[in-house]
Structure 1
């Protein structure tokens, strides 16, 4: 269900994106650049951060889509649940722990980020580009979680799987942007996230 009265009762995010193309096109371009462009992080790691942040925010829609997408890129089943329970005991690569601690703090208590938090990321072997990308993915999904929740966008497991299939395809978010701009079919036709 969505809170936008002009959209169908069962509207998903593609409906919202098509309804507001002036803001959706640059938003999807940013998704493509950040989540599929060059980065010290793999696509799987960036999708992991997206799903983790969405889980922290209890955004079922984004957490579901990006957990399924992270799995499509090789993230182990159950890892996101482990991370949400306790980063330090989850079976995640050691260099990702300070990145995920950073994302957690930035999501839940952003004013409490300190230089020490950044130094922990650097000490794990990441550079400034990595810190920038981690913060950017975190910020983007805090934004997306609020967009989805604020507009009442919901979906179920079958939708999450279909969206992950599209997002893990060769064109990623660029394909979503193209489909959203030109396709006037159902949400299942263009399910981006």
Structure 2
């Protein structure tokens, strides 16, 4: 139930963006850059990171939508649930496990990050740009999770799939085009 009384009780994030388009335009442009721009990670891998961080934060709204989006980009179904249950034994690409471990630690205990954490990412074959991009996705979704939870936003049944597929097909730039539609 949304805490914004001027919006419907079952408000979606898109409706919040439509109600407050000024900040939303900048936020969606940043999403487009971080999640769809040039990166060592594929869009699916970045959506995987987003969904993983959201799962760690117990943000069902973001976790659900970005799991659907990651899967639409080719991440195998069930990967996120397995990674959240036990990253070490999960059927996750070996190169991505240290990245997910890194963003997991950054999400849970940011002040405890060490050189060894970064070195594990580098040892898996990623470069500094990849570490930078993983940190940006992690930071963005820690922000988004707090925004969603702080505003009381929940996804109605079916919305997760609709939103995830929309993000896969139109990206965040496409979502920004919907800001002028009625809330």
Q: With structure 2 as the length reference, what TM-score do the two structures score?
A: 0.98
Q: Does the Cα contact within 8 Å between 1:28 and 1:174 map onto a contact in 2?
A: yes
Correspondence 1:92 to 2:95? no
- Cα offsets for 1:80-128 (capped at 9, x unmatched): 1110011110011111011000010000000000011011111111011
**Unpaired stretches in structure 1, ≥5 consecutive residues:** 186-193
Asked if structure 1 preserves the Cα contact closer than 8 Å seen for 2:10 and 2:156, the reply is: no
The unaligned stretches of length 5 or more in structure 2 are none
- State the distance in 2 between where 1:161 and 1:122 align: 34
Cα deviation for residue 19 of structure 1 reads 1.4
The alignment status of 1:54 with 2:54, answered yes or no, reads: yes
Q: What does residue range 24-173 of structure 1 map to in structure 2 within 5 Å?
A: 24-169=24-169, 171-173=170-172
Pair 1:3 & 2:3 matched: yes
Q: CA deviation at 1:20?
A: 1.3
Report if aligned partners of 1:56, 1:84 keep a CA contact under 8 Å in 2.
yes
Structure 1 range deviating more: 137-146 or 149-158:
149-158
**Aligned structure 1 segments of 4 or more residues deviating by more than 3 angstroms:** none
Matches of 1:159 and 1:175 in 2, distance apart?
A: 17
Q: Shift in Å at residue 67 of structure 1? A: 0.5
Instruction: Tell me the SS of whatever aligns to 1:9.
Output: coil
What is the Cα deviation at residue 179 of structure 1? 0.9
Kindly state the Cα deviation for residue 157 of structure 1 after the two structures are TM-superposed.
3.9
**CA shift for structure 1 position 156:** 3.1
**Counterpart in the other structure of 2:176:** 177
Do the aligned residues in 2 keep the contact of 1:64 with 1:157 (CA within 8 Å)? Answer: no
Q: Which residue of 2 is the match for residue 189 of structure 1? A: none
Q: What RMSD over aligned residues (CA atoms) do the two structures have, in Å?
A: 0.9
